[in-house]
């Protein structure tokens, strides 16, 4: 099949994806929007290079091998999904990138015009990003007491326009363990995707009680964020486990269908073996990623620590402030001419103390959780990188073993190689998505904090200026009294 | 009595909220100067500098102490004409001021004598040292001493005192002059005034009320100062910890591409924020000093009330003494023993005395009674005069206190406003930086 035809298919699929009625058909192709995006981006890239290469005499060296291989990866994936009568051969693709091609004509099927079409559609898509297909909330915590234990469940409410869901609204109750289950399933099925972390099990540090109101509220917010992140993720939101989690009333029976204990042990053993062996030649972009993750982890942890200290100091300040207003009041009660100013100052101090309390609350409920979340993300990233390394190590081990035996490239090794490539490319894309999301989230949290602090000072300013104004008025009244 | 200069009224009016606290403070000083005693019409008084000296003290040991430079300038009659004359200067140390004040306390017991700044730092929050040689403490003490001199110089009665005048003008020989006045002999023993306080029967109710008020004021201001110091301490902590954001954001910005610039510049603003607390709290110390002055004033008020008790007690004693002498005379004259007395007993046991003895005793008694009546009259006058002068000064003090403390509260509000404005600036800037992330 010629490139233009394939591109046409991809575009068509993509266009079909946007229309609800066609979702069922598109899904027959077992293709997700995520992959369509990747392949289209790659082909726009290929198109650009094609355009450049045709006009340059240095063609082979201009075209980066990586783009080629990734493209090949995608096609391998897609080719398996195309109906049998479509004749697909990879060699044909590579021919495209030779000078003999007639694709430079600029006709309606030329890469350049298709590229333009793609750009147009990309713009349209930006506008539509606001619409969410899947909208999840977590609320209404409730306490359950059984003979063995006491635990909290949360109401998980789902509203969706997706056609693969039977209804448009679902309501279930879930406990923390259920969230843990969902996350571990997602990580298992997508080892090199970045799955947003869950709030920690139990915070010993502040001696926080498990059933303390603040703790429950903080956890509820974090659980909601977790589900929001998952439902926004192009790949993870299509996970069957997510669907089960959101829709099934009785989750317990599903949970029992997890892969066997022994299988998991086997996987772990292999993982450890590979990590001990180490990766031979890690692609540079992942080394850079690793370095970044290490540093990010330590930096975000520092910011978190500083924020915690600020909260502690501020709490003590608020406590002292509360003691500061009564003496002024008391004094005012003893005086005559000074009574009013003293009472007013007492009032001002009191109001400022209340405002500081609000500011403190904002720090605890907005900034600190966001920082904490990204500390947990750093740990997730480290785990993802380890898994990626393991996949590569496993492939390298197999290949080495084969080469030692002198065998030809077997199917198993080839499959592993492809697995490595797929994982790498999916991680790459998810990585840039995560980076962008991190930037947005932390920027929002910091902006919000700055705004809250700003408002705090503005309110206190107003309080004291009112006092000054009233004193000024009193002063001018006195002046009038004393005037001869 | 009000000055016609018009620039500063009796009540310092705040024209706008941008007036700084130092300006507000000088408003207070101006209100003092405005009272235009004869002394202040002649001269301007400054405590300009402080210097460290070493020397031998009374037990012949080396010690380091601070001296303060007092500058006297002739008051300008025509402002701006000609070069200002060079001031007369002399050096005084803290103990000289103490001596002066003690002298005034004894010599004018019916006046509320302005207090000196503290000898040792109290009500400190952790940052300020309690070291007497610490430059910040010395500076605040300098201001306090100048304040003391101005208060005395603007007092209608105290400003006319010769010893005070010499304090300002004669460096050498002043101490001797003070001691020569023999004022120490006039000082009441503490035991005397203590017993008077408990035994007086009919003190003037106004003084009792005033004493109670000053005790309560002392308590409430002490409490206020203590809490304020703790609040300042905590606020210091909050601001300084934000400084850590500066370092951490800077480190983080090094690993980020798009976020780097925004984080780095936000970090700088956090450093600015952390540094700003030093000035803010330094200014608040002035406010604390203003409150402290009135805390120490309560001691002076208490002294006046105690003196009243003493005089009243002496008056009551004199009256009682006279009454008992008159009774004795009556007994002697009529021969009746109304009240148990040793004389009565002994005369019963050992026989009465002769007629001559009785008459000579009567004569002596008459003399004594007359002296007693003179003494009573004197004491009465003394008491009345004391009450009148003291109450006049108490009224003057009340007015001064109301005005000064209102000024202090206003300057505190101004400080808070300034602090809020700085905070608004910093966080607006930080917000912009975060926006660029």
Query: Could you tell me which residues come within 8 angstroms of residue A480 by beta carbon, excluding any fewer than 6 positions away?
Result: none
For residue A168, what pLDDT is reported?
85
Residue B301 with chain A: CB contacts under 8 Å? none
Q: In Å, how far is B10's CA from the nearest CA of chain A? A: 9
Tell me the per-residue pLDDT of A57-110, one tens digit each, with 9 for 90 and over: 443 443 444 445 445 555 555 555 444 434 434 333 333 333 333 333 444 444
Largest interatomic CA distance in chain A: 117
Residue A466 with chain B: CB contacts under 8 Å? none
Query: Could you tell me which residues come within 8 angstroms of residue A419 by beta carbon, excluding any fewer than 6 positions away?
Result: A391, A395
Q: Which of A303, A338, A453 faces B427 most closely, judged by CB atoms?
A: A453
Q: Where does the pLDDT of residue A291 fall: very low under 50, low under 70, confident under 90, or very high at 90 and above?
A: very high
Q: Which of A327, A464, A479 faces B13 most closely, judged by CB atoms?
A: A479
Is the CB of A313 less than 8 angstroms away from the CB of B237?
A: yes
Q: In Å, how far is B412's CA from the nearest CA of chain A? A: 9
Residue B421 with chain A: CB contacts under 8 Å? 457, 461
Residue of A nearest to B416 (CA): A464
Indicate the SS3 state at residue B338. coil
- Cα A458 from Cα B178, distance rounded (Å): 57
Choosing among A317, A356, A449, which should be mutated to test the B contact, i.e. which has the most B CBs within 10 A?
A317
B10 touches chain A (CB under 8 A): yes
* Of B192, B47, B175, B170, nearest in space to B103 by CA: B175
Angle at A235 between CA A234 and CA A239, to 5 degrees: 125
For residue B359, what pLDDT is reported?
81
Is the CB of B220 less than 8 angstroms away from the CB of A461?
A: no
Is the CB of B241 less than 8 angstroms away from the CB of A313?
A: yes
For residue B398, what pLDDT is reported?
95
pLDDT, mean of residues A253-265: 60
All domains of chain A in start order, with CATH: 134-258 (3.30.1520.10), 280-482 (1.20.1270.60)
For residue B75, what pLDDT is reported?
74
Q: In Å, how far is B174's CA from the nearest CA of chain A? A: 41
Is the CB of A306 less than 8 angstroms away from the CB of B245?
A: yes
Instruction: Please give the helix or strand (H or E) that residue B88 lies within, else none.
Output: strand B88-93
Q: Which of B234, B242, B258 faces A317 most closely, judged by CB atoms?
A: B234
Which range has highest mean pLDDT (A135-139, A444-448, B23-27)?
A444-448
Q: Which of A457, A461, A472 faces B427 most closely, judged by CB atoms?
A: A457
Tell me the per-residue pLDDT of B253-288, one tens digit each, with 9 for 90 and over: 999 988 899 999 999 999 999 999 999 998 999 899
For residue A129, what pLDDT is reported?
44
* Bridge partners of residue A217, in order along the sequence: none
Residue of A nearest to B401 (CA): A338
For residue A270, what pLDDT is reported?
63
B209 touches chain A (CB under 8 A): no
For residue A266, what pLDDT is reported?
58
- Cα–Cα distances in Å, from A268 out to A263, A274, A386, A392, B280? 9, 10, 12, 15, 59
- Cα B285 from Cα B229, distance rounded (Å): 9
Residue A344 pLDDT greater than 90, yes or no: yes
Tell me the per-residue pLDDT of A260-282, one tens digit each, with 9 for 90 and over: 555 556 566 666 665 556 677 78
B235 touches chain A (CB under 8 A): yes
Collect contacts of B119-123 with beta carbons under 8 A, ≥24 apart: B119/B94, B123/B225, B123/B226, B123/B228, B123/B229, B123/B288, B123/B292
* Of B293, B308, B309, B292, nearest in space to B393 by CA: B308
For residue B107, what pLDDT is reported?
92
| Summary mean pLDDT of chain A | 76
For residue A20, what pLDDT is reported?
58
For residue A15, what pLDDT is reported?
65
Q: In Å, how far is B35's CA from the nearest CA of chain A? A: 16
Query: Would you list the DSSP string of A422-462?
Result: HHHHHHHHHHHHHHHHHHHHHHHHHHHHHHHHHHHHHHHHH
ipTM: 0.83
Is the CB of A334 less than 8 angstroms away from the CB of B17?
A: no
Q: Which of B245, B413, B437 faces A443 most closely, judged by CB atoms?
A: B437
Q: In Å, how far is B249's CA from the nearest CA of chain A? A: 8
Please answer whether residues A314 and B238 qualify as being in contact, where contact means their C-beta atoms are separated by less than 8 angstroms.
yes
Is the CB of A450 less than 8 angstroms away from the CB of B430?
A: yes
Q: In Å, how far is A71's CA from the nearest CA of chain B? A: 28
Is the CB of B405 less than 8 angstroms away from the CB of A338?
A: yes
Is the CB of B406 less than 8 angstroms away from the CB of A341?
A: yes
* This prediction's pTM: 0.75
Choosing among B237, B416, B435, B436, which should be mutated to test the A contact, i.e. which has the most A CBs within 10 A?
B416
Please answer whether residues A66 and A418 qualify as being in contact, where contact means their C-beta atoms are separated by less than 8 angstroms.
no
For residue A201, what pLDDT is reported?
80
For residue A264, what pLDDT is reported?
58
For residue A78, what pLDDT is reported?
53
Q: In Å, how far is B272's CA from the nearest CA of chain A? A: 15
- pLDDT digit of tens for each residue in chain B (437 aa)? 333 443 333 333 334 445 555 555 555 555 555 556 777 777 788 888 778 878 777 777 888 888 888 888 877 655 566 666 667 888 898 889 999 999 999 999 999 999 999 877 777 666 555 566 677 788 888 899 999 999 999 999 999 999 999 998 888 888 888 888 888 887 777 777 777 777 888 888 999 999 999 999 999 999 999 999 999 999 999 999 999 999 999 999 999 988 899 999 999 999 999 999 999 998 999 899 999 999 999 999 999 999 999 999 989 988 998 998 888 888 877 766 556 666 666 666 666 667 777 788 888 888 888 988 998 999 999 999 999 999 999 999 999 999 999 999 999 999 999 999 999 999 999 999 999 88
User: What's the residue count for chain A?
Assistant: 484
Tell me the per-residue pLDDT of A189-247, one tens digit each, with 9 for 90 and over: 888 899 999 988 875 555 555 567 788 888 999 999 999 999 988 888 888 889 889 98
């Amino acid at each position: 099949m010629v490139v233009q035809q394939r591109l046409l298919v991809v575009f068509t699929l993509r266009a079909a994806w946007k229309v609800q009625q066609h979702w069922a058909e598109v899904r027959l192709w077992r293709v997700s929007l995520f992959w369509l995006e990747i392949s289209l981006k790659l082909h726009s890239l290929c198109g650009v290079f094609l355009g450049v290469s045709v006009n340059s005499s240095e063609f082979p060296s201009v075209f980066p091998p990586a783009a080629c291989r990734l493209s090949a990866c995608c096609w391998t994936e897609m080719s398996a999904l195309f109906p049998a009568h479509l004749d697909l051969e990879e060699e044909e693709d590579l021919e495209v990138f030779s000078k003999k091609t007639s694709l430079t004509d600029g006709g309606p099927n030329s890469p350049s015009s298709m590229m333009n079409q793609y750009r147009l559609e990309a713009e349209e898509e930006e506008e539509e990003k606001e619409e969410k297909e899947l909208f999840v909330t977590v609320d209404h915590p409730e306490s359950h007491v059984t003979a063995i234990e006491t635990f909290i469940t949360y109401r998980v409410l789902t509203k969706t326009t997706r056609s693969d869901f039977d209804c448009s609204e679902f309501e279930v109750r879930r406990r923390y363990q259920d969230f843990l289950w969902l996350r571990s399933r997602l990580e298992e099925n997508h080892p090199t995707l970045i799955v947003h972390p869950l709030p920690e099990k139990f915070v010993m540090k502040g001696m926080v009680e498990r059933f303390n109101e603040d703790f429950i509220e903080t956890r509820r917010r974090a659980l909601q964020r977790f589900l929001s992140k998952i439902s926004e993720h192009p790949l993870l939101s299509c996970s069957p486990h997510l669907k089960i989690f959101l829709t099934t009333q009785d989750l317990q029976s599903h949970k029992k269908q997890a892969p066997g204990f022994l299988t998991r042990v086997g996987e772990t053993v292999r993982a450890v073996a590979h990590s001990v062996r180490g990766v031979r030649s890690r692609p540079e972009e992942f080394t850079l990623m690793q370095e970044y993750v290490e540093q990010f982890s330590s930096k975000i942890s520092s910011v978190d620590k500083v924020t915690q200290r600020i909260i502690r100091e501020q709490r003590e300040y608020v406590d002292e402030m509360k003691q500061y207003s009564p003496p002024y009041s008391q004094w005012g009660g003893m005086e005559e001419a000074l009574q009013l100013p003293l009472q007013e100052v007492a009032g001002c101090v009191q109001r400022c103390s209340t405002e500081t309390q609000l500011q403190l609350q904002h720090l605890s409920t907005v900034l600190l959780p966001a920082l904490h979340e990204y500390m947990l993300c750093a740990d997730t990233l480290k785990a993802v990188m380890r898994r990626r390394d393991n996949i590569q190590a496993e492939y390298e081990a197999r290949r080495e073993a084969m080469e030692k035996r002198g065998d030809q490239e077997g199917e198993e090794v080839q499959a592993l190689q492809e697995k490595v490539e797929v994982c790498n490319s999916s991680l790459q894309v998810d990585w840039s998505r995560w980076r962008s999301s991190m930037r947005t989230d932390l920027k929002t949290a910091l902006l919000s904090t700055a705004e809250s602090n700003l408002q705090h000072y503005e309110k206190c300013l107003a309080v004291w200026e009112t006092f000054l104004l009233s004193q000024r008025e009193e002063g001018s009244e006195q002046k009038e009294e004393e005037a001869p | 009595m009000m000055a016609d200069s018009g620039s500063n009224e009796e009540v310092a009016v705040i024209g706008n909220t941008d007036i700084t606290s130092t300006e507000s403070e000088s408003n207070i000083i101006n209100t003092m100067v405005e009272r235009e005693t004869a002394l202040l019409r002649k001269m301007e008084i400054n405590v300009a500098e402080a210097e460290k000296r070493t020397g031998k003290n009374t037990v012949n040991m080396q010690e380091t102490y601070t001296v303060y430079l007092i500058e006297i300038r002739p008051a300008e009659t025509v402002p701006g004409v000609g070069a200002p004359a060079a001031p007369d200067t002399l050096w005084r140390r803290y103990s000289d001021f103490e001596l002066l004040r003690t002298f005034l306390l004894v010599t004018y017991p019916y006046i509320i004598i302005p207090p000196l700044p503290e000898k040792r730092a109290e009500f400190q929050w952790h940052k300020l040292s309690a070291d007497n040689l610490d430059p910040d403490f010395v500076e605040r003490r300098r201001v306090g001493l100048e304040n003391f001199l101005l208060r005395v110089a603007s007092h209608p009665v105290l400003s006319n005192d010769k010893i005070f005048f010499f304090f300002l003008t004669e460096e050498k020989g002043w101490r001797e002059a003070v001691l020569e006045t023999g004022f120490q002999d006039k000082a009441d023993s503490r035991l005397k005034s203590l017993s008077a306080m408990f035994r007086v029967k009919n003190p003037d109710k106004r003084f009792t009320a005033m004493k109670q008020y000053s005790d309560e004021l002392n308590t409430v201001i002490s409490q206020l100062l203590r809490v304020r110091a703790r609040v300042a301490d905590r606020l210091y902590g909050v601001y300084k910890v934000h400084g850590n954001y500066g370092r951490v954001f800077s480190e983080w910005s090094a690993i980020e591409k798009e976020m780097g610039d925004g984080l780095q510049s936000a970090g700088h603003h956090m450093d600015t924020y952390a540094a700003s607390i030093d000035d803010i709290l330094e200014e608040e110390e002035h406010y604390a000093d203003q409150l402290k002055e009135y805390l120490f004033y309560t001691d002076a008020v208490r002294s006046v009330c105690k003196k009243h008790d003493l005089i009243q007690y002496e008056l009551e004693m004199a009256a009682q003494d006279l009454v008992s002498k008159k009774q004795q005379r009556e007994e002697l004259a009529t021969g009746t023993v109304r009240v148990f007395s040793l004389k009565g007993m002994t005369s019963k046991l050992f026989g009465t005395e002769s007629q001559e003895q009785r008459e000579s005793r009567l004569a002596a008694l008459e003399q004594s009674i007359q002296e007693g009546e003179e003494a009573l009259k004197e004491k009465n006058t003394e008491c009345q005069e004391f009450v009148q002068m003291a109450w006049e000064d108490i009224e003057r003090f009340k007015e001064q206190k109301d005005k000064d403390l209102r000024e202090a509260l206003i300057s505190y509000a101004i400080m808070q406003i300034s602090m809020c404005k700085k905070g608004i600036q910093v966080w607006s800037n930080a917000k912009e930086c975060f926006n660029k992330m």
